[in-house]
Amino acid sequence: MSDMPENPISNATTLGVDDAVGVSDAEDSASEIASEQRFWYVAVINRNSEKLIREKLLQQGYDAYVASQMEDHVWANGRKKKIEHVLITAKVFIRLTESERREVVHLPYINYFLTDKAMATNAFGVHPMAVIPDREMQMLRFMLCNADSPVDFVSTQFRTGNRIRIVRGALKGFEGEVTRLSGETYVFVRLSVLGSAMTRVLPQDIEVI
């Protein structure tokens, strides 16, 4: 497993408390219209608390997810054990309505929600909340659950590359983009406001779509 960036954030910014909560009088009526639609938001939390906070949120009935992968760990005494390795640190993904997000941001273990710096600000100079599309979340979870090799997370946004589908192996059916680094072929899934999850594949196992 290669070293992960400590805070893999692209096109996102951390603003003040008001921006993190995302509440302003002028936005209330518009927010209420879509208040029952759920989106994947990115909550920033303290490092090394990802799994604990995920469990707290799940116990409270929220759909929460930490980007992690199971890997074999060998202890000093030679004993092997599977451990859950967190790829995107200090972040938890939570699927919420807007009204739920306004409540969750006040939980003591939630620092704030990411805003999307790539999007235009409103009349008050506030960027909208960063939202991860359902399709990207599905692909990320599929990759982390089924990849035969370790998955890396890089903050660089790939701008080029063919759309591909994996046709055999544990990731059969996965659709993403392909690139080559240091002579190796990788397939990756982009998270719009964070970066890309990437794992190595064999060229013969992919087809262009």
Task: Give dist(CA 80, CA 182) in Å, integer.
Answer: 31
Task: Give dist(CA 81, CA 121) in Å, integer.
Answer: 48
The CATH number of the domain holding residue 162 is 2.30.30.30
Task: Say if residue 124 is in the same domain as residue 175.
Answer: no
Q: What does the pLDDT look like over 156-179, one tens digit per residue?
A: 443 346 677 787 788 888 888 777
Q: How many domains does the chain have?
A: 2
Global model pTM greater than 0.85: no
Domain extent for 64: 12-132
- Residue 62 token pair: 């929220």
pLDDT of residue 8: 39
The CATH number of the domain holding residue 64 is 3.30.70
Task: Say if residue 19 is in the same domain as residue 116.
Answer: yes
In a domain, 24, yes or no: yes
pLDDT of residue 200: 79
Task: Say if residue 125 is in the same domain as residue 184.
Answer: no
Task: Say if residue 65 is in the same domain as residue 20.
Answer: yes
User: H/E element holding 193?
Assistant: none
Task: Say if residue 147 is in the same domain as residue 200.
Answer: yes
3-state class (DSSP) for residue 22 = coil
Which of the residues in the chain have pLDDT under 70? 1-35, 154-162, 180-185, 203-204
Q: Is 16 left (phi over 0), alpha (psi -120 to 50) or beta?
A: beta
Q: What are phi and psi of 168, to 5 degrees?
A: -155, 165
**How do 63-65 and 68-74 pair as beta strands?**
unpaired
Count the helices and strands in the chain (H runs, E runs): 5, 15
pLDDT of residue 85: 92
Task: Give dist(CA 68, CA 84) in Å, integer.
Answer: 6
Task: Say if residue 77 is in the same domain as residue 178.
Answer: no
3-state class (DSSP) for residue 177 = strand
Q: What does the pLDDT look like over 86-106, one tens digit per residue?
A: 999 999 999 999 999 999 999
Check: CB of residue 195 under 8 Å from CB of residue 181. no
In a domain, 173, yes or no: yes
Cα dihedral 171, 47, 50, 198, rounded to 10, equals: -10
In a domain, 51, yes or no: yes
- Residue 100 token pair: 């739920």
Task: Say if residue 21 is in the same domain as residue 107.
Answer: yes
Of 104, 132, 160, the last residue of a domain is 132
pLDDT of residue 48: 95
Task: Say if residue 93 is in the same domain as residue 172.
Answer: no
